[in-house]
A and B are shown apart, each in its own frame.
Chain A
């Protein structure tokens, strides 16, 4: 049985390396959308993938640490409201981790639908609710600006988590041997 909030050595290492990967993709691997400053962040695909594999604690910390470090590296300071929202997204996605059995080589159509519906809900919660509200409370940004930004971010991040996350989960499931795939010879 997978425990939801377990923090064993593997989770720690996955958090550390996952955050490094998130940071790298967050800074360098973006897909331009034609509108400046709103690229599709492939990092959210990786964050969602790690969250689904290693659980909410790892997922949340990966996005939080990765985003905070990437921000401070590029801008010298951290936009905390969005960093928190990133963490919330991947923490949320990680909550379905006990339901998935990807490391046993299983990722059925049903799993895929559950994963995608859930990640859209998490993204919407984080980017339409958490990020704009924190923007207003912490930074006193104008309301209509932050909610527009939030809506745009929801769309792009759901696409990233949906397309890239699903693809990675599918590929990963294929590399794992299925449980019970070995049979005793008569």
Chain B
């Protein structure tokens, strides 16, 4: 139960030195440019771009190995389910059917279906490096500052920063309670029947939840006593000021977004790129 989100290691390179606000805005631009486009060329472009950025950020593969594993698992599941449920969805979208081979009358493999499903997989895979860069190169204390600065209420932003602050504590608490309960004879291993195991897990969660409720009381009193929330605005200790590289990064990602929209509206006249007509 190791969490990798917060092993933030300070480094000195272009990506790390961008402000959290810039990274958030770029992240939103780039994810939106692949979210609405079903053009494999645009998606591949963004994907290559994000891999280049990933290299530039000097992140190690070992930091993201577990994530990559989950992503592959999830994507292959989705690939399979999509085919099982709608083997002819590609034909429906592109309007033509170029059959490659046939399993039975319902499950034929067409070029259209393959293009649709490969595009979809790339669509998800291409934003993964971006998310990881955003998460792993931004100082957690800066997250809240950056979401407040794109215009969200600082109270909401503060709630978000509390989440990041207390998540590691929560994991430690869970661990402590689990160990304490196991030393009293609660079996969580596979030897126990599933129903008993569920009950035993609940015996860990209940103390965890109730100690959290106590903590909420404590923290909110402390914050109230220090006058939290009395004013309309607040400043952030961790906020970085914006420089030239920030402007450049925002312009580049803005341009990519514009290109993606342009391709959708003026080149393809739809969200799908249709090479079959």
Contacts and interface: CB of A to CB of B under 8 A. Distances in A.
Interface of A: 7-10, 12-21, 23-25, 28-29, 31-32, 36-37, 42, 46, 49, 61, 65-66, 69, 72-78, 80, 138-145, 148, 164, 167-168, 171-172, 175
B224 A9 contact: yes
B35 A138 contact: yes
Which of A12, A19, A20, A49 is packed against the most chain B CB atoms within 10 Å?
A12
B38 interface: yes
A10 B131 contact: no
A-B pairs, top 10 by smallest CB distance, nearest first, are A16-B162, A142-B86, A76-B128, A145-B85, A15-B159, A13-B220, A19-B163, A10-B220, A20-B167, A16-B159
B122 to A, nearest CB: 12
Interface in B205-223: 205-206, 208-210, 212-213, 215-217, 219-220, 223
Contact of B159 (A49, A61, A139): A61
B45 interface: no
B53 interface: no
B31 A49 contact: no
B77 interface: yes
Contacts of B205: 25, 29, 42, 46
Nearest to B66: A74
B86 A21 contact: no
B212 A17 contact: yes
A175 B210 contact: yes
B176 to A, nearest CB: 13
A31 to B, nearest CB: 6
Interface of B: 1, 3-5, 31, 35-36, 38, 64, 67-68, 70-71, 74, 77, 81-82, 85-86, 89, 93, 120, 123-124, 127-132, 135, 155-156, 158-167, 169-171, 174, 194, 198, 201-202, 205-206, 208-210, 212-213, 215-217, 219-220, 223-224, 228-229, 271
Given A16-B159, A168-B209, A75 B194 contact: no
Contacts of A10: 216-217, 220
A164 B198 CA distance: 11
B38 A140 contact: yes
Give the secondary structure class of A's interface: helix
A168 B206 contact: yes
A3 to B, nearest CB: 15
Given A16-B163, A49-B209, A66-B163, A8 B201 contact: no
A21 B158 contact: no
Contacts of A143: 86
Which of B67, B130, B198, B220 is packed against the most chain A CB atoms within 10 Å?
B220
B35 A9 contact: no
Which of A9, A19, A172, A175 is packed against the most chain B CB atoms within 10 Å?
A9
Contacts of B1: 28
A42 B161 CA distance: 23
A77 B159 contact: no
Given A21-B170, A77-B71, 13 more contacts: A9-B223, A9-B228, A10-B217, A12-B220, A17-B216, A24-B171, A37-B74, A75-B131, A76-B67, A76-B128, A77-B127, A142-B86, A143-B86
B158 A12 contact: yes
Contact of B163 (A25, A69, A168): A69
Contacts of B170: 17, 20-21, 23-24
B163 A65 contact: yes
Contacts of A17: 162-163, 166, 170, 212, 215-216, 219
A1 B95 CA distance: 59
A175 B117 CA distance: 53
25 contacts: A9-B228, A10-B220, A16-B166, A17-B166, A17-B215, A20-B162, A20-B170, A28-B1, A61-B156, A65-B160, A72-B131, A72-B135, A73-B3, A74-B70, A75-B131, A76-B127, A77-B124, A77-B127, A77-B128, A77-B131, A138-B35, A142-B85, A144-B85, A145-B86, A164-B202
Given A17-B219, A145-B85, A65 B159 contact: yes
Given A73-B135, A74-B70, A145-B86, A7 B155 contact: yes
B267 to A, nearest CB: 18
